[in-house]
Structure 1
Amino acid sequence: DKNEESAFCLLDLANFLKQKGDQVNGQKEKPDTDFYLRAIEGATRVQNDFPEAEAARQAKALADQIKSPDLRLQIENVYPIGQPGLIKVDVKNTKVVYWKIAKLGSGERKRISKIRRNRLPGVLQSLEPVKEWSDDLDYSENHHTHAFESFHDGFDQGEYILIVSNQPKLKEGMTYQYSFFQVTNLALVKIDQRTEQNLFLVTERTSGKPISGASLVLTPSRGSVLDFQSDDKGMIRLKGAEHRNYEALLSFGNDSFRPEQNIYLNRRMSGTRSNSRVHFFLDRKIYRPDQSVYFKGIAINYDEDRKPEILSNHKIVVSLVNPNGEEVKFTTFTTNEFGSLHGNFVAPGSGLLGRFVIKSSIQGSTNFSVEEYKRPKFEVSIDPPKGKTDLNETIEISGLAKALAGYGIDKAKVKYRVTRQANFPWCPVWRIPPYYSRTAAEIAFGEATTDENGAFKFSFEAKPDRSLDPKLNPEFVYSIQADVTDGSGETRSSNTSVRAGYIGFTIQHNVPGKMDLNEIDTIEINSNNLAGQPFRSTGSIKFTQLLKPQDYFLERYWTLPDLYKSNKEEFKKRFPLFAYGDEEKREGWEKGEARITRNWTTETGIQVPLNKETITQGYYLLEVEGQDENGKKANIQQVVEVFDSEDNQFRSSKPFFFFTNSSSWQPGETYQLDLSTFDPVYLFHTFSGINAQNSWTLTGPKKEFIVEKIISDKNYGGLNSYTLFVRNNRVFGQSHSIHVPWKNKELQIELSS
């Protein structure tokens, strides 16, 4: 009846408001934080006005869901002995959280993990605590999730369990979370390399110093227990271990560490096997039925180090497989002295069309399509609008349908469609509305007919998305597609796009986020309208030094909280390496001296020279502001990390900073990696790849490193450089490719008549 329908209408509105609240829940910038409150208000109205309706029962469930308490716990799996540690909990509808930490004996973790959910609160409550406390939370009640960060002051070596709840005593039906953690000074790092996946590194967890003589015991589910010792570099190679799942226990002196995840050795980790494959080449990717498909293949064998060798005089079966996975034809080949083979199959003239596969009896395959092909009779083009386009302006679009013979296609039916999508070129990423959908919205469609010359026209209004705040200065891309169908039923399409925005011009500059003073000596600035044409504008440029609040910050394993247990001063005493609030975000750093200040008026662009005497290593804020003839202003802000490749002193706010002396190398040239770190560290380094030695070097402790290698002709195809160090309960690694192109095998082709 009418009442029932009205009740469900109100319920739908309440559900919609809850969904909007879910979209912004947990975001720091919320355009409307009372979505949940309005949803509860709507649900309450349904219950009061329609108490007997089915919608009232659903409305109560909706309100209860929004009001229900919730806790989500995040901690570090391992903390160093005696050091304070951060812990985070996401809270909802909870004003007090209760903490309990208990030390576990041998086997207790496994026992707790197997207990049924309904018996778990009683078991957790019975554990003897080594520390208990509670935290009062201060936030406005809007039913949103808040992130709260607390801490502990450190523990002795061992395994522990942390329990958080919204009540002082645990019982069934209440809200709680728990997590296990270990306290140890030992770190076990798995070296994730293609050729040495059975290599592990043992270090001290805070300093990163390698530990020699540590014992790693691997216990399989069945079979013999294996015991390995770390060498003088702290490295352990699991030689002789079979491919299976192992529980691991690392120990040294009175300290021990049991990795949370078991170590699984598969065949690849126990030693990479050699393998062979055929690389196929076709003359095209689409064929007609009954057409010959010519192919060529080169057979390569890869050894355990992935070094390729030609596979000559080897029998290989090549098969043709249809879209159903059925073998249609096969031929046996013997590769020649160069490892190559060639042949052809005839594409089926009847039956199933689609994607066919050519594959070899070893490894390697390629695919192609078999389709009925009809040569097009005409083509369609759309003329892009000339000049700049303003919002709310009617845009005229013209196009042409022309036969390949050159004459126009008259009386053809044209269907067009216009979609709109927003970009935010003037808005920092963190300010883009979290509720904004990037899906293109259709704003216009219709039909037209070509004239006797094949020309057609249509128009649409460049409407903005009014749900977006104009203060964010969004730019809109209008994508236009036209499908033209002639009298015979053949359809051809074309598309183009138009840009319009609240700011009708763009500003470009040549400054990267990471700038070497020895490569860029001039800042270049240009301005264009949204059609890409040069645009006369006035503006200013500032290049201001930023003052780092401290040398570097350690990254958390979770996002920054919005609620803290202590103030900044107390927090920094316990955790000097972690950021409090947004201080690690460079955009918010305090400004120092402006090293460049200049006004400009240009239509062709300007150049501002950089002086190495005034622009030194460090962080800078580049601010470029432009203004059009109507007084409309736009600005760009970008943080720039400036370094000097001729000076290796550490300047970055990141844990380490590196650069190389080139982007590619040739035999006889020297590859050089310059690396600086925030503190003295023990640096592990190796080269991996074709003809690389895969031997690890250990250097340190120090803060500045130079790694060099003379490239030889055996390194053609490239190799990898891998660096690793452990510091402050974190593992830092960097892998990058050393590009050694085959320039001695470039083909030189000349045509003459």
Structure 2
Amino acid sequence: AVVDKITIKAKREKNSPQIVKSLLYSSKYALTLEEDAQLKIINDFKDGIAQSEAPTKNVLESYLANLYWQYFQQNRYQFYNRTKAETKIDTIDFRTWDLSTLFEEINIHFQNSLTDPVLLQKVKVNDFKPILQDQKGSKLYRPTLFDLLAHTALAFYKTPENNITRPANKFEISNPDLLCEANEFIEQELDLSDKTSLQSKALGVYQELLRFHTKNTDLKAFVDVDIARLKFVHQNAVFTEKDRQFLEVLKNAAEATSPQPVSGLYSFEIASYYNQEGNSYNPKTNTTNQWKQKEAVELCDLIIKQFPKSNAANKSRDLKARIVEKRLQLKGEQFLPINKPSRILVNYKNHDSLNLSAFKVSNRDLQKLDKLHPETKKLGFIQKLKMYKSWETILKNEGDFQNHSIEVLVPELENGQYIILAKAKEKSNSFAYTSIQVTDLALVETRTQSQHIFQVIDRNNGKPMHKASLKLSYQENYDRAFLTKIFTTDSKGIVKIPFPKKRWTSIKTMISSGDDAAYFGDYFINPKYDKDERNIVTYKSFLFTDRSIYRPGQPLYFKGILMETFEGKSKVAINESVFVTLYDVNRQKVSELDLETNDFGSINGNFIIPISGLTGEYYLEIYGVSGLVKENYYFSVEEYKRPKFETSFEPITDSFKVNDSIVVTGKATAYAGSNITQAKVTYRVKRIVNFPRWYFWYRPYFNSPPQEIAHGETITDASGKYQIKFKGIPDNTIDKASLPIFNYEVTADVTDINGETHSTTTTVRVGYHAMTANISINESVDKDKKDNKLTVNTKNLNGQFVPAKGVIRIFKYKAPSNVLR
């Protein structure tokens, strides 16, 4: 009631912020109190829009678009599983729409929110303070209502999540002229023919924002929009040399706005780009960008020096801090031999030297250490332990601010458990630690059908350890207190433990042999399972219907055979009582027959399909009175007309590459054998991107929405044939080196003169490569035989054999010179 009073008063006073605020509050209460609240809220916003004028109307349009967008984000799985409809199935209930319809509706409302930009540009953001979460300095970058609404729309238009089928004239940022200075970009004429493209609409909004802020004397908002626009174009561009051009434009923009502090923001983006390039450095595979991090730091220092109190300087300080941050990590073998020098791997960044220490610890110490948080508490705990040994090591620091790795020497240590701690010699809070165990013992486990076997060996030479003591601490089924059992190894170092009645879990093992002791875990031992020795008779039914699809009212005839199996032998089951029941699509019983198998184990009968009710998938259930058989058999009930012709595509035998002209041939033939001539053929070609299996071994999941390549109409000729021609247009956003395969899905709907329609689909696979080759050979080859065979199979991308010539090279693996532990 209070909200309603505020709404009436706000409308009477034409108080835009309060009108919007009251509608937001009523929506909040509706979510809590009402059923179908989402639908009611949407309708309330629509009513509010119809009753409002600008700028209130623009704000409500933006909120409505965001409500649709948020609903999609929460229920995207539902929309991805829906096929596109030509029209809205329900113009009111948006929850029934397909993805294309929803995205178009969101676009319409965002576009409506930006109508009358001149008026919106005059409305200061302070006028809507009651419905805004104000952040310090935000008014410098979003000074007007137009800025707020435009950037809200951009959040939608910039999303990569747009899994709708794209048209043949799909918009792509393929024009290098779009990656240019702001004054040139404003004058660019955008291609808006692709109505489904969010990218083209985003560029249009950027143009409006830049055009508006060009008049400002304070360039903060202008530069903020321009940098966002440049990053968006660079990220989504498909033309070559976009990286070089991006840097060039940033440098030109920095010079054009110099000596104003905002010029530092362009320079900061250059430093950020250098940092990204530097992150790709790998000492083995990519050394090109080793010094990019250093270039980024130098540029950050220059920005801080030129504009020390600017936003660009603050960003540069943060970036520099991340780059010069010291990092340290230790990685070592879990077990090391007694009194023998070994190595430990140090991964480090921005370190010159390290102090390393070895602390001897117990199991209890390690358990306490694992429970401590944060890391500073762990350091304090370790430093309170008694130090066993300490040493220093010099690290190679090239001053490139990159991650490096080096193996450092670990001195000889006696039997026991240790924590190795590494700290920087220079003043730094950076530290790292790892735990190791020094022992000459190793534990091997295996299982048989009735036993769990442990074997204790010397880890240096594999010699079995005779009369070693194994102390097992365990729980039964993860429950109750720990139990303890002690075993002694035989002459082969083996302990055999018969499977217990209850599962042994969380097993910790202590092994001692002479002066050597070691700890191992976690293990588990399965319980003993008693085999069911009973011989059980099992039944299996086979049911056959006279057809797989029926019309309502038709009779259904069936015949079945019942088999019984005992001790591995099967025979027909005679004189067995069974029920056969007919169920409809709603799993409701329609009719039932009580039958008995004859001397041949068979049954037969018939049902009448109901005339009324839903069509769809029906099923027969056969149930044995003994309860040992209960199986379902499905069939279809449809109002169908017997087809008079069929259509299909001829196999794809040719090889194609991208941008080739492709022709697929189809044919329509009557079941009587004659050709279907002068039939209307409506076709569409859709492209879907696939990758080789190895692509996903080390790359993230890639999702490319389908794109329509061609559509049109043709007719069948005198022989009933028709041809569909299209060009194998590739997806230019995908790297050629990934060897993508473009699947062109061709669908044809053929309608004869009587109006009967049938469809067929085929797929043409096209890539930057035209052929695949597979090699197969036996896993084991007898080197003494002279007739060992190697099979090479060459096919085009459509699976058809193609002849080819090539060279086969056989390489012998080079064996390692020594065995690694």
Q: TM-score range by the shorter chain?
A: 0.5 to 0.7
AA in 2 matched with 1:80 = P
TM-aligned CA deviation for residue 408 of structure 1:
3.3
SS in 2 for 1:201: strand
Percent identical across equivalent pairs?
A: 17
Question: Residues of 1 paired with 2:524 and 2:577: CA distance?
Answer: 35
Distance 1:22 1:376, change over 3 A: farther
Within the candidate set 676, 681, 684, 1:408 is matched to: 676
Alignment of 1:484 onto 2:744: no
Question: Residues of 1 paired with 2:592 and 2:428: CA distance?
Answer: 69
Instruction: Give the corresponding residue for 1:82.
Output: 339
Instruction: Give the corresponding residue for 1:497.
Output: 764
Instruction: Give the corresponding residue for 1:581.
Output: none
Instruction: After TM superposition, list the pairs within 5 Å mapping 1:515-530 onto structure 2.
Output: 515-521=781-787, 530=796
Alignment of 1:220 onto 2:478: no
Instruction: Give the corresponding residue for 2:452.
Output: 198
Alignment of 1:577 onto 2:801: no
Question: Residues of 2 paired with 1:32 and 1:253: CA distance?
Answer: 55
Question: Residues of 2 paired with 1:386 and 1:546: CA distance?
Answer: 37
Distance 1:528 1:104, change over 3 A: closer
Would you say the 8 A contact 1:125–1:169 is kept in 2? no
Distance 1:170 1:528, change over 3 A: closer
TM-aligned CA deviation for residue 93 of structure 1:
5.4
Instruction: After TM superposition, list the pairs within 5 Å mapping 1:55-134 onto structure 2.
Output: 68-92=325-349, 96=353, 99-105=356-362, 107-117=364-374, 118-129=376-387, 130-134=389-393
Would you say the 8 A contact 2:360–2:417 is kept in 1? yes
**31-40 vs 233-242, which moves further:** 31-40
**490-499 vs 243-252, which moves further:** 490-499
Within the candidate set 401, 415, 418, 2:687 is matched to: 418
Within the candidate set 203, 222, 225, 1:5 is matched to: 225
Relative to the length of structure 1, the TM-score reads 0.53
Give CA deviations for 1:118-139 in whole Å, capped at 9, x if unaligned.
4212112333432333341356
Within the candidate set 258, 261, 269, 2:519 is matched to: 258
Question: Residues of 1 paired with 2:308 and 2:578: CA distance?
Answer: 75
Would you say the 8 A contact 2:294–2:401 is kept in 1? no
Structure number with bigger Rg: 2
TM-aligned CA deviation for residue 400 of structure 1:
2.9
Q: What is the CA RMSD across the aligned residues, in angstroms? A: 6.2
Instruction: Give the corresponding residue for 1:232.
Output: 491
The structure richer in helix per residue is: 2
TM-aligned CA deviation for residue 189 of structure 1:
1.7
Would you say the 8 A contact 2:281–2:287 is kept in 1? no
Would you say the 8 A contact 2:658–2:766 is kept in 1? no
AA in 1 matched with 2:525 = L
SS in 1 for 2:444: strand
Would you say the 8 A contact 1:385–1:397 is kept in 2? yes
Alignment of 1:249 onto 2:507: no
SS in 2 for 1:259: strand
Would you say the 8 A contact 1:73–1:177 is kept in 2? yes
Instruction: After TM superposition, list the pairs within 5 Å mapping 1:197-346 onto structure 2.
Output: 198-220=452-474, 222=481, 224-239=483-498, 241=500, 242-245=502-505, 246-261=507-522, 263-267=523-527, 270-271=528-529, 273-274=531-532
Alignment of 1:393 onto 2:652: no
Question: Residues of 2 paired with 1:283 and 1:25: CA distance?
Answer: 65
Question: Residues of 2 paired with 1:542 and 1:380: CA distance?
Answer: 47
TM-aligned CA deviation for residue 461 of structure 1:
3.1
Give CA deviations for 1:523-562 in whole Å, capped at 9, x if unaligned.
779796848566575x76666x7594xx536xxxxxxxxx
Instruction: Give the corresponding residue for 1:607.
Output: none
AA in 2 matched with 1:184 = T
Instruction: Give the corresponding residue for 1:136.
Output: 395
**20-29 vs 85-94, which moves further:** 20-29
Question: Residues of 1 paired with 2:316 and 2:630: CA distance?
Answer: 58
Instruction: After TM superposition, list the pairs within 5 Å mapping 1:435-450 onto structure 2.
Output: 442=707, 444-450=709-715
**278-287 vs 410-419, which moves further:** 278-287
Distance 1:31 1:192, change over 3 A: farther
Give CA deviations for 1:579-632 in whole Å, capped at 9, x if unaligned.
xxxxxxxxxxxxxxxxxxxxxxxxxxxxxxxxxxxxxxxxxxxxxxxxxxxxxx
Question: Residues of 1 paired with 2:386 and 2:488: CA distance?
Answer: 36
Instruction: Give the corresponding residue for 2:174.
Output: none
Instruction: Give the corresponding residue for 1:460.
Output: 726
Higher relative contact order (CA 8 A, sep 6+): 1
TM-aligned CA deviation for residue 447 of structure 1:
4.0
Instruction: Give the corresponding residue for 2:285.
Output: 29
Would you say the 8 A contact 2:294–2:400 is kept in 1? no
Distance 1:489 1:508, change over 3 A: same
Would you say the 8 A contact 2:353–2:392 is kept in 1? no
Question: Residues of 2 paired with 1:372 and 1:114: CA distance?
Answer: 64
Distance 1:138 1:249, change over 3 A: same
Question: How many pairs were matched up?
Answer: 527
TM-aligned CA deviation for residue 162 of structure 1:
2.5
Unaligned 5+ segments in structure 2 are 1-146, 148-208, 210-220, 237-271, 476-480, 551-555
Instruction: Give the corresponding residue for 2:9.
Output: none
Question: Residues of 1 paired with 2:627 and 2:327: CA distance?
Answer: 55
Question: Residues of 2 paired with 1:271 and 1:459: CA distance?
Answer: 65
SS in 2 for 1:81: coil
Give CA deviations for 1:49-95 in whole Å, capped at 9, x if unaligned.
99999999888767755665444543322222234444334445556
TM-aligned CA deviation for residue 347 of structure 1:
13
Instruction: Give the corresponding residue for 2:435.
Output: 180
Question: Residues of 1 paired with 2:655 and 2:288: CA distance?
Answer: 35
SS in 2 for 1:119: helix
SS in 1 for 2:498: coil
TM-aligned CA deviation for residue 104 of structure 1:
0.9
Give CA deviations for 1:319-366 in whole Å, capped at 9, x if unaligned.
99x999999999999x9xxxx999999999879969999999999998
Would you say the 8 A contact 2:684–2:748 is kept in 1? yes
Unaligned 5+ segments in structure 1 are 302-307, 554-575, 579-727, 729-753
Question: Residues of 2 paired with 1:36 and 1:362: CA distance?
Answer: 75
Question: Residues of 2 paired with 1:35 and 1:325: CA distance?
Answer: 69
AA in 1 matched with 2:726 = F
